[in-house]
Amino acid sequence: ETGVTQSPTHLIKTRGQQVTLRCSSQSGHNTVSWYQQALGQGPQFIFQYYREEENGRGNFPPRFSGLQFPNYSSELNVNALELDDSALYLCASSARGVRETQYFGPGTRLLVL
């Protein structure tokens, strides 16, 4: 186990709704990245938070937003859910000075109906 936790484990929403996913990073880690993994695909980078500020973003629309808190935990918010947002959402944390290596949580499985 990596020490990265995510909640909830599973979630079902309907199109147009909003969702908030949560992540607690591994102790001592100050960087959190979020990835989306569709079935049968590799994870795709959404964005990263470092010292409570967004530090890099992938090709995702603005309805994907996030926060990082002073204790380095993080939230991913998705507004106006679409069917294609159904995926496994992964949070990964990394340590100051060793940011190449990312430790993933178990993910949140989101189903949009």
Partner 1 sequence: SQKIEQNSEALNIQEGKTATLTCNYTNYSPAYLQWYRQDPGRGPVFLLLIRENEKEKRKERLKVTFDTTLKQSLFHITASQPADSATYLCALGGTDSSYKLIFGSGTRLLVRP
Positions touching partner 1 (CB under 8 A) are 2, 4, 31, 33, 35, 40-45, 48, 50, 55-56, 58, 88, 90, 92, 94, 99-107, 109
Nearer to partner 1, 44 or 86 (CB): 44
Q: Smallest distance from the beta carbon of 9 to partner 1, in angstroms?
A: 9
Measured CA distances, 76 to 40, 87, 97, 98 (Å): 22, 13, 24, 23
Nearer to partner 1, 1 or 84 (CB): 1
- Residue owning tokens 């926060």: 67
